[in-house]
């Protein structure tokens, strides 16, 4: 089956061939020869084109009509989520401004070929959108560059009431109607469209003839992440009960891949329904346990000592002059002054971190104030360093996550791969970003995408691709090593193959090099039945002869399997559960990678 290819419930976008031409000069020439006539008036700022009222006060729902039936978004719910008028929100690395409009005023535009004035250089356009027709809404639009060239794009937005929760930017708990407020999720989506790198955008023509269904609230150029390389990352796997933490400091341990002379830290409030306040934060090199080697250094956020991350949004610290050594442990400490009962987190840290007693202990060099431990990474999602050649992103499941590797020893196969890159001169010393989530699947969500949950398997690789790969700083190559959980839980080989092909196509549209790894054997584990192994074998056969869908294939199946019983992991590589390699097997995976394949 091919139903996933360019058709998942996520808001999927791509450029057509005119935009992705390999030679910029040729693309510019073609665009000049086929430049269309201007549509409508001269380009105008988006807010001057607003023609629809989406937000109402809860006591005056009749002041807005988002969908043509009188339904609207709740201003109270938006405020509770931290989405206040005029607020700048960072979502998937893009700065989007929620319309500076009072409830009942025009705050979005029906997309119908309007020409929007927008300037900037970057790697993507970012739209804040929603559909209102009951099905995904979209159409084809145009990007005009200052050099006279143009590119076309396709923008698709899920429906605000029926669309998936897995890819939403924020979900609100109510829908306002003339007959009263409904306890029903209302959703908004951030969608990105790749741009030709290096060219300056002059204007954007919105999709035409979408009827009343495609609504645009905000539009921005996502600035390309130049001068930064990702050295560490942890994808959000769930939104889970924590603590509760009131006036506590978390001191999280993160292991770097590459080093640099400056650092910045990213906190993600993914899947949340309310803002979270970070009172202060520091970074330090780990000494022993919760103790720092030297006095922790203060981080700032827009010049302030702390920051608030709205629901679904991100917070980046200001660049800090701080020497980050490669292949070393950092302590990122942040104070939570309020009460936090649930938080977005990465469950399978395979690393001991620390929680303080009451008070702000971010500046403490010693570890005495941190009597408690935790083995998750809440809120902390990324660490970037200055310079460097960019990053390799490893999109995977528990084997990439490091499940059943030695705790706090950094023996995950991404760690071993990073060390190999540091110890050679044949290819650039890329940062390595581990985007593995235990129990993750290619085509099905484990975590439902909203609300507090005990399931930490994340949303599907298809649904997290934009956030965990495309939005990562200076990503150059992505390695996809997934599928075993799909076949273990009964997904057909055709569906997994379609999902993998979609990942490859979407990543190539972003200019990334894409490698895939064959699925490792797992016979002997309870869900790895002969039927599951047959599906695994079929997927691997496709990968080995994928007809150019991927730039290269890493045959991890052959690395790990027992020659005498090819459906099983070699005993020397088995952690003991017949599904996950142990430290030796994980090292064998990393050692098998031809580093030359990672070069774009």
Task: Summarize pLDDT for 277-329 with one digit per residue, the tens.
Answer: 999 999 999 999 999 999 999 999 999 999 999 999 999 999 999 999 999 99
First-to-last C-alpha distance (Å) of the chain: 31
Q: Is the peptide bond before 184 cis (omega within 30 degrees of 0)?
A: no
Rg of the chain (C-alpha set): 24
The model scores a pTM over 0.95: no
**Rounded alpha-carbon distances, angstroms, from residue 477 to 284, 481, 514, 537, 599:** 29, 13, 6, 25, 7
Mean pLDDT of 168-189: 97
The Cβ of residue 505 has, within 10 Å, a number of other Cβ atoms equal to 15
pLDDT of residue 26: 26
| C-alpha span between 187 and 170 (Å, rounded) | 6
What does the domain layout of the chain look like in residue ranges? Answer: 14-222, 237-381, 389-600
Mean pLDDT of 497-524: 98
**Rounded alpha-carbon distances, angstroms, from residue 393 to 218, 319, 359, 501:** 29, 22, 36, 17
**Do residues 145 and 125 lie in contact, with contact meaning Cβ atoms separated by under 8 Å?**
no
Pull the structure tokens for residue 354: 């620390």
pLDDT of residue 42 exceeding 80: yes
Helix or strand (DSSP H, E) at 586: helix 583-592
Pull the structure tokens for residue 103: 């409830």
pLDDT of residue 18: 34
Q: Any residues with CB less than 8 A from the CB of 435 and at least 6 apart, and which?
A: 233, 235, 393, 394, 395, 396, 400, 468, 469, 472
Mean pLDDT of 528-547: 96
pLDDT of residue 258: 98
pLDDT band at 225 (very low <50, low <70, confident <90, very high): confident
pLDDT of residue 15 exceeding 60: no
**Rounded alpha-carbon distances, angstroms, from residue 314 to 10, 63, 89, 143, 168:** 20, 31, 7, 27, 14
DSSP secondary structure code for residue 207 in this structure: P
Nearest-10 Cα torsion for 461, 3, 131, 121: 50
Q: Any residues with CB less than 8 A from the CB of 313 and at least 6 apart, and which?
A: 82, 89, 90, 91, 169, 269
pLDDT of residue 209: 79
The CATH number given to 389-600 is: 3.40.50.1110
| C-alpha span between 189 and 198 (Å, rounded) | 26
pLDDT of residue 114 exceeding 60: yes
pLDDT of residue 2: 33
pLDDT of residue 27: 26
């Amino acid at each position: 089956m091919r139903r996933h290819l360019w058709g998942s419930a996520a808001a999927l976008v791509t450029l057509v061939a005119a935009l992705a031409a390999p030679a910029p000069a040729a693309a510019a020439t073609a665009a000049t020869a086929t430049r269309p006539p201007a549509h409508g008036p001269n380009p105008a700022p988006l807010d001057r084109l607003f023609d629809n009222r989406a937000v109402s006060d809860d006591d005056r729902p009749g002041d807005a009509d988002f969908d043509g039936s009188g339904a609207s978004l709740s201003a109270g719910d938006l405020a509770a989520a931290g989405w206040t008028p005029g607020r700048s929100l960072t979502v998937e690395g893009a700065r989007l401004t929620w319309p500076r409009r009072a409830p009942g005023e025009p705050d979005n535009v029906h997309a119908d070929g309007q020409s929007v004035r927008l300037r900037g250089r970057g790697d993507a356009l970012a739209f804040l959108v929603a559909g209102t027709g009951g099905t995904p809404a979209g159409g084809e639009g145009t990007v005009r560059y200052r050099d006279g060239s143009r590119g076309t794009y396709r923008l698709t937005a899920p429906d605000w009431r029926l669309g998936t929760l897995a890819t939403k930017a924020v979900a609100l708990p109510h829908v306002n109607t003339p007959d009263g407020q409904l306890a029903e999720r209302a959703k908004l989506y951030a969608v990105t469209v790749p741009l030709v790198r290096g060219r300056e955008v002059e204007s954007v023509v919105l999709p035409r003839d979408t009827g009343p269904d495609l609504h645009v609230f905000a539009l921005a150029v996502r600035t390309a992440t130049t001068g930064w390389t990702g050295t560490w990352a942890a994808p959000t796997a769930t939104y889970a009960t924590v603590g509760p933490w009131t006036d506590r400091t978390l001191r999280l341990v993160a292991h770097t891949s590459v080093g640099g002379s400056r650092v910045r830290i990213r906190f993600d409030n993914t899947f949340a329904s309310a803002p979270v306040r970070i009172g202060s934060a520091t970074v330090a090199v780990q000494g022993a346990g919760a103790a720092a080697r030297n006095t922790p250094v203060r981080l700032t956020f827009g010049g302030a000592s702390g920051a608030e991350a709205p629901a679904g949004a991100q917070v980046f610290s200001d660049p800090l002059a701080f020497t980050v050594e490669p292949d070393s442990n950092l302590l990122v400490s942040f104070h939570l002054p309020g009460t936090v009962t649930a938080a977005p987190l990465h469950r399978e840290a395979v690393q001991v971190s620390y929680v303080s007693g009451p008070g702000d202990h971010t500046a403490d060099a010693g570890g005495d104030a941190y009597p408690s431990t935790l083995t998750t990474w809440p809120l902390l999602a990324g660490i970037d360093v200055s310079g460097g050649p960019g990053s390799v992103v490893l999109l995977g499941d528990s084997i990439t996550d490091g499940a059943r590797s030695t705790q706090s020893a950094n023996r995950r196969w991404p760690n071993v791969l990073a060390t190999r890159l540091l110890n050679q001169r044949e290819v650039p010393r890329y940062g390595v970003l581990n985007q593995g989530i235990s129990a993750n699947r290619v085509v099905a969500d484990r975590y439902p995408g909203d609300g507090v949950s005990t399931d930490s398997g994340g949303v599907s690789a298809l649904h997290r691709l934009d956030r965990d790969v495309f939005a990562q700083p200076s990503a150059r190559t992505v390695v996809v090593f997934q599928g075993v959980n799909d076949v273990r839980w009964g997904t057909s080989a055709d569906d997994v193959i379609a999902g993998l092909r979609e990942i490859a196509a979407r990543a190539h549209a972003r200019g990334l090099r894409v490698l895939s790894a064959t699925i490792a054997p797992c016979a002997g584990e309870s869900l790895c039945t002969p039927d599951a192994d047959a599906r695994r074998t079929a997927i691997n056969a496709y990968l080995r002869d994928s007809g150019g869908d991927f730039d290269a294939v890493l045959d991890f199946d052959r690395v790990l399997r027992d020659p005498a019983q090819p459906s099983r992991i070699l005993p020397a590589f088995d952690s003991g559960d017949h599904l996950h390699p142990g430290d030796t097997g994980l090292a064998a995976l990393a050692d098998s990678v031809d580093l030359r394949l990672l070069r774009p």
